[in-house]
Structure formats: structure tokens, C-alpha cells
Amino acid sequence: MIKEKARDVVGHDAAIQQFEAARRSGRLHHAWLITGTPQIGKTTLALFFARILLNAMDPKSPISHRFEAGTHGDLLVITRGVSAGKGGESQTIVAADIKPVQQLLHHTAAEGGWRVVIVAGGICSITLPPMPC
């Protein structure tokens, strides 16, 4: 379940301004790499960007409900899995964790517009397939 909200995004004003400027200009890059020290809100910021791109900003909309439930057809969030035999979270994201990305990006957007993949775990990355001209 995804519960970030715009009010949860704190201290990333410059990144939000850069993202919004790129989006408004129609020249949004196909991938964004969000880096920084642990626990500064990289994944929250990536989810906020995804919410904007997927038109899920209105909390009362069905799109927003699917987004928050993690069932939006154009959003995939990849996180580190459970460490085999060690218990707890793995320190790496392995190829098997990434396999669903190909399936999502191989098809056209389910709800129109963008498809968004967020790879969370230390460094957060948003991958957007290029939009057709």
C-alpha cells in the first residue's frame, strides 16, 4: 500500500521545480536518478512524481485509489526482497526482482499516458519509457 502525499515531501523543492519545469516543457527525461543519504525521502519523492505523471493527485479519484492500493496498471515499485537464510531485508536487488519491469514496459500504458517504474533501495530511480511522438 502506498501512502505518500504531497505534504510528506519535505526539503525537495529544487527537485520538484526541476521536474515540473521539464514536465511543463514537454521534455521530460525518460529516467530520473534520485540519490542521497539514507532516509531523506528519495522513495517518497519518486512516488510523488509518479502520482503527478499518473494523474493520481486527487485523493477522491479512482486513479488515486488504485495508486495507493498498489494496483495501478502503469506503476511498478521494485524493492529489495527478503534475504534468503539471513532474515530481514536483502542488501541487493537481484535480477529476479527486476523481471516484472520487462512485462510492464513491453506493453502500452494500461490507463493511457505514462508507465512508471520505481526502483527503491538506497538509490531511487524512476524509469519512464519514451512517449511516442
Nearest CA to 97 among 116, 114, 115, 82?
A: 82
Identify the bridge partners of residue 117 per DSSP, sorted by sequence position: 76, 127
Query: What confidence tens digit (pLDDT) does each residue in 26-81 have?
Result: 888 888 888 888 888 888 999 999 999 999 999 899 999 999 999 999 999 988 76
Identify the bridge partners of residue 34 per DSSP, sorted by sequence position: 124
Domain parsing of the chain, residue ranges: 6-127
User: Quick one: cell of 130?
Assistant: 519514451
Predicted local distance difference test score (pLDDT) of residue 3: 60
**Fold category of 6-127 in CATH:** Rossmann fold (3.40.50)
Burial 8-43, CB ≥16 within 10 A → b, else e? ebeebeebeeebeeeeeeeebeeebebeeeeeebbb
CB 2 within 8 A of CB 67: yes
